[in-house]
Amino acid sequence: MLKQVKIFIICLFLALFAGQAALSAQIRPELQSRLDVMSQSDEIPVIVTLRDQVNPQAYRKLSKRLRQKKLITDLREKANRSQKPLKNLISLFQGRKFRSLWLVNSIAFTAKPRLIKRLANHPAVASVKLDAVVTLSPQTMNSSSLPEWNIDAIGVPDLWNLGYTGQGVVVANMDTGVDFDHPDLMNSWRGGSNSWYDPNNEYALPHDSDGHGTQVMGLMVGGDAGGSAIGVAPGAQWIGVKIFNDQGEASLSAIHLGYQWLLDPDGDPLTDDSPDIVNNSWGFPEQLNQCYQEFLTDIQMLKAAEIAVVFSAGNKGPLPYTSVSPANYSESFAVGATDFTDTLSDFSSRGPSPCDPDGVFPDVVAPGVSIKTADLTTIYGIPNVNPYTSVTGTSFAAPQVAGAMALLLSAAPTLTVTDLENIVRQSAWDQGLTGPDNDYGSGFVSLPGALALIPGINLCISDLDVDGDVDGSDVFVFAAETGRFDCSETTPCLADLTNDGAVDSSDLSLLLDDMGRSDCFTSPVP
């Protein structure tokens, strides 16, 4: 009998220990450290994530419109059904500031330790974490820039001249907001209640107190009101999410709410009002070379709905293993930064990525040093006489690639997100080591090359100066575009590839063959 009692006590102890271990596993360490020093009457913001999740891969075979409708409907229904018991418990224990994050089947609220521990032990709960705060990294400002050098460098005018300006495409940013009063941005805002979202409830209409979001949006869709073109896709429309409050802070729940809103801006899954592309010029630099998966599900869901997700690679270079999340997810499209000589910037983060060690980080690179863009029209209530600035950082390389994707979509609206990503990678000019590497990724973005890879597009991209002729003048444009700056009208030039003493269309043909580009043609349809 005594032996049986001992066995029972041991089993009971093991069961209790296992229960505590499970409980500890569900409460994330950063939250547990806060709970350890809190009194029972203190409150703390948390996010509870449920085990029952929608599988984004289940929607791949559906058409884009049907996919978005069914995905949104399923996400909402699963959240409503599975969150109901937890909502009752939260209400019973006086949880406050309740917000449903149906995109990731989570609940954000403020609670006391007793409720947090009870929820952590609930069988439906996968984890309980601190609703932590992300701080916007300061950006580098420059005193001068070469207007439009970045626009020319990635070949934007070639697509403009063919009539592709981003028309019919909607882009979004998750940032500090957008200055609606800027002359380069006011006319391209889509407008309406489904085109602006502030999860911090500070502003009912587009606003930016910092400038970062305005600078980013200027590079995506800005016009030429200041005398020079600043945006890659001026024909596109924009919508915005102000995830950062006026103190430069964004809670995890605010970012989740931002992504959630982007998937269904008007709250009606029957309408098609989500953006085609969203730019993210933010990350977690304090978690260097870590795979912080807080927003992995959000990005997977957006991509399942055919929304392209572009991220700045981070400014933690020049050493390897300096990637940051969420840019280093394999699902994100990460962009590093180069200067005006196409050289990778020292600050640009390098791979490999801990989230995808067998892949390449970043995906591509684009201009990110001394870039002219829009700035705030008023500063501390005083009108800014010159609402333009010059900026540096991967934050400003990324929106140019987002804008580039908008141009490609305006040329071929049926392209999928996978198509877009593959075309941009495959057409990039190889830089650094031969082939994709963890410095330059697949290389420097080339919009003409990307356009040439789209099946069925009628092109004559060899007429680079758009004068109606393919001749020697195009060689000089092409040579500059590909970094062959030794060419000029008065000095010997490597562009004379045929060695016949003349720089003409025969040299251009060799250049095009060398770079995998052809003369006037219709791209093949598979």
| DSSP output for 494-509 | TT-TT-SS--SHHHHH
Q: In the prediction, which pLDDT does 459 show?
A: 57
Q: In the prediction, which pLDDT does 522 show?
A: 47
Q: In the prediction, which pLDDT does 243 show?
A: 98
Q: Please write the tens of the pLDDT for every residue from 253-271.
A: 999 999 999 999 999 999 9
383, burial (CB in 10 Å: exposed 0-12, middle 13-18, buried 19+):
exposed
- Percentages of the chain per state (helix, strand, coil), in multiples of 5: 35, 20, 50
> Cβ contacts of residue 304 below 8 Å, gap of 6+?
56, 57, 59, 60, 67, 71
**pTM of the entire structure?**
0.84
Q: Is 175 a catalytic residue?
A: yes
Nearest-10 crossing angle of helices 252-263, 296-304: 10
Helices (H), 187-328: 212-221, 252-263, 296-304
Closest CA to 347 of 362, 358, 333, 359: 362
Could you say which residues of the chain have pLDDT below 50? 2-25, 143-146, 466, 483, 485-487, 518-519, 521-526
> Angle 404-405-408 (CA atoms, 0-180°, nearest 5)?
90
How many angstroms separate the CA atoms of 419 and 232, rounded? 19
Q: In the prediction, which pLDDT does 271 show?
A: 94
Q: Can you spell out the DSSP letters for 350-378?
A: ---BTTBTTS-SSSEEEE-SSEEEE--SE
Q: In the prediction, which pLDDT does 380 show?
A: 86
Q: Is 212 a catalytic residue?
A: yes
DSSP 8-state assignment for residue 136: P
Given 253, 370, 395, 462, the catalytic residue: 395
At residue 65, φ and ψ (nearest 5 deg) are -65, -45
Given 175, 298, 437, 439, the catalytic residue: 175
Q: Is 195 a catalytic residue?
A: no
> Angle 213-184-313 (CA atoms, 0-180°, nearest 5)?
35
Q: Please write the tens of the pLDDT for every residue from 245-254.
A: 999 999 999 9
Given 182, 212, 410, 437, the catalytic residue: 212
How many angstroms separate the CA atoms of 253 and 179, rounded? 24
Question: Is there a contact between 319 and 334 (Cβ–Cβ < 8 Å)?
Answer: no
Q: Can you spell out the DSSP letters for 55-69?
A: -GGGGTTS-HHHHHH
